Amino acid sequence: MTLRSIQLVKEIRQLLLPWTVTMLGGFVALFPVSRAGYSWSPVDLLSWILPLGCFVGIPLLAALPLGNEFQYQTLLLLLSQPIDRRSLWRQKMMITLAAVLPASTLYLFAFRRNLEFSDDFWMAAVWIVAATAGSIAGTLVARSTIGGLALSSAFYGLGFVAWSRMAESYRKNGEIPAVFLWSSAMVLACYAAVLVFAGRRMFLRFQPADGSYGPGYLTSGTRFLPRFATNWLRCRPHGAFLNLIRREFHLLRTVWFLALLSFFTWTCLILFHLVRPNNDEFERAPLPAGLAVILSLLIAFLAGSLSLGEEKNWGTHVWQLTLPMSPSTQWVVKLVFALCASLLCAVAIPLGVLITRGWISGSPLSYLDHTPLWVWTVEALVATLLAFWCSCSVKGTVSAVLWSLPMLFALGLAGVFGEWMGDGVIARLKPLVDVLESRVDPFRMNRGVLGVIGLTGHWWALLLAAPLLAAALIQSHRMFLAPTDHRKLHAVRNTFPLIAIMVFSTFLLATVASVAGQLRAEQTNVVRQAHLAIETLEASANQTDLPRMQRFTADDLAKATPLSSNAQHWLRDSAIVVRPEAATRTVSSLPAIQWPYELAFLADGAPGKKAVSYSATIRTPRGSECNLRFWAVAGGKNGFLFQSCQ
């Protein structure tokens, strides 16, 4: 192996994980999962991979070759080697290009497939080039990867929104003029060239002047703040707990910066009419708004990972644990502060801007899309919690943010696997389910089945999240207290308990839901058979007699239409009282049902005959009573069957 290839292998090793994650994201993004636009809905989460990879993943790849040198404090060592700085810069740029080029190509194709870009394809390419260049220069200015990414985001957030506004104003007949596209592409290309040149100049003249030459602007003083804030943020000789909070304020400096940026971006989006009430124009400019949401997502991830990640980078974390304050308290302070920061910066700021604008126009919620507020909140908190967990597991902010994404993917995959396993097990245990079905009285509402059937999506999510959340908190607490092993293998091992819990939880929930669903289906099946038999009897009676109350037995029903053995079993010795009804209904005039205690479904009348409205009571010898009410569609062969059992 030559000396040059040894150096390249070192660079490749450092970039391998983020590059693999970004590329995997790109491949996933090639398959369009949702075209519903950008929302916080869990269903559309996968659609976020594309802009996330493009606007965060690729700039991150560009920032890492230099950012890693700052993070591991190896730049001084590198610069002291007998190599010309120009060669070092060339080497860094080569590796950056090698990492960014395939990823950019992949994402551009994904863009084309997903958003059906045609005119804007090359424009998107130029934006990626500009962001890459901005990321490199930003890393040198901020002296950290995250700082570089934050500065790059600043460019994206404001620059892209401003450009979009201009593009919208020049748009004619739904098309952006080619002159505008080409001229802005030229400007962006020049901008990128200037940034690369400035970055090279900065690198060639770089002086690691202070002791740690650490995270540049992150460590800069609080001189931009008013005096009272500066004074408050200064640590005092008394009040350890408050000092911990002050420390957290400083540690999340990048989050505050991005929050400010997010505020300006959302404000500009509204001022430039790129987001309009009731989302009616959202589709027309999805990228700027999507970018602003990505910024909020980035804030949520950073709020969770920055504090502990930076402490681990600097080496202060272990020392903090030796102070006479319970490490558990320190853990709680970090976690709660991270969650609060996430709520404030990733949720309250964007929502605050949108709601304020809506309030000015008289309808506070008119500027929000159709996603409920709590979904924004929960998803931001989950992102923060996940990033916090990752920062406890691995060393450094960048690693924590990077680790969060495959972790999210792995948990999702584990959930799908658990569900598939649950359905598979139930399919294989069909005889057992059949036995169970034959034991559940279809004319008595089973509480267990009702409980499961009646669960809403929120409850399912809560049942799934609760054990996972508890395990994640316990595990992160343990990892926080023993911050020693940061090997990748150890980090992978840490994920096993969470993945196992996810698989088990989804398996359990899928099994229970599947069994409950099948039981309910069988109940409905028996009721349908009884209904069909009553309809047949009523239809034939109607031809000869006037409407009157009738009493039937199970044998009567079995003679009218063939009944399954299960239906015969449950109807045996039952007293069935049927009262013909004159009324017919349409869908809009149907009464509301009390789900899950009452069921309603479309049911056919007797074969070849008009459906007849009736109400019936089935009293079984076991004491259960079930009321059926059937409203025939006027002149039709079917109607609406309502079933409510005690």
**Alpha-carbon distance 482 to 101, whole Å?**
39
Q: Is 578 helix (H, G, I), strand (E, B) or coil?
A: strand
Window 248-277: residues binding another protein (CB under 8 A): 250-251, 253
Which residue stretch of 14-22, 216-224, 467-475, 629-637 sits at the interface with another protein (rule: CB under 8 A)?
Answer: 216-224
- Within residues 481-510, the interface with another protein by CB under 8 A covers 482-485
Region near another protein per CB under 8 A, out of 190-198, 311-319, 348-356, 568-576: 311-319
**Chosen residue from 77, 190, 229, 240 binding another protein by CB under 8 A:** 240
* DSSP letter, residue 45: G
CB closer to another protein, 6 vs 224: 224
Q: Which of 77, 94, 323, 492 binds another protein (CB under 8 A)?
A: 323
Q: Is the Cβ of residue 83 or residue 323 nearer to another protein in the bound state?
A: 323
Query: Could you report how far apart the first and last alpha carbons of the chain are, in Å?
Result: 80
| Nearest distance, CB of residue 345 and another protein, angstroms | 19
* Residue 234 in the binding site for another protein (CB under 8 A): yes
Nearest to 8 by CA among 90, 71, 77: 90
Q: How many residues belong to the chain? A: 646
The separation between CA 122 and the C-alpha centre of its own chain, rounded to angstroms, equals 29
Q: Under the criterion CB under 8 A, does residue 318 sit at the interface with another protein? A: yes
Interacting stretch for another protein, rule CB under 8 A, among 118-126, 340-348, 479-487, 573-581? Answer: 479-487
**235 in contact with another protein (CB under 8 A):** yes
Chain CA centroid to CA 408, Å: 9
SS3 552: strand
Rounded Cα gap, residues 75 and 219, in angstroms: 18
385: its two tokens: 């919690």
Q: How far apart are CA 447 and CA 454, in angstroms?
A: 10
CA dist 104 and 110 (Å) reads 10
Interface of this chain with another protein, residues 183 to 212, rule: CB under 8 A: 210-212
Q: In the complex, what is the shortest distance from the CB of residue 324 to another protein, in angstroms, rounded to a whole number? A: 4
218 lies in the site for another protein, by CB under 8 A: yes
Residue closer to another protein (CB basis): 224 or 544: 224
Phi/psi class of residue 638: alpha, beta or left (left: φ > 0; alpha: ψ in -120 to 50)?
beta
- The residue from 80, 173, 322, 456 that contacts another protein (CB under 8 A) is 322
Decide: is 325 part of the binding site for another protein (CB under 8 A). Answer: yes
Instruction: Choose the stretch contacting another protein; rule: CB under 8 A; options: 240-248, 403-411, 433-441, 544-552.
Output: 240-248
326 part of the interface to another protein, by CB under 8 A? yes
**Alpha carbon distance 56, 49 (integer Å):** 10
Please say which residue, 235 or 590, places its beta carbon nearer to another protein: 235
Cβ count within 10 A of residue 280: 8
- Contact between 245 and another protein (CB under 8 A)? no
Q: Does residue 51 contact residue 135 with C-beta atoms inside 8 Å?
A: no
Kindly indicate which of the ranges 38-46, 228-236, 262-270, 434-442 contains the residues binding another protein, using the contact rule CB under 8 A.
228-236
d(CA 541, CA 501): 59
Give the CA diameter of the chain: 109
Interface residue with another protein among 214, 277, 286, 596 (CB under 8 A) is 214
What does the binding site for another protein look like in residue numbers (CB under 8 A)?
210-212, 214-215, 218-222, 234-240, 243, 247, 250-251, 253, 314-316, 318-319, 321-327, 482-485
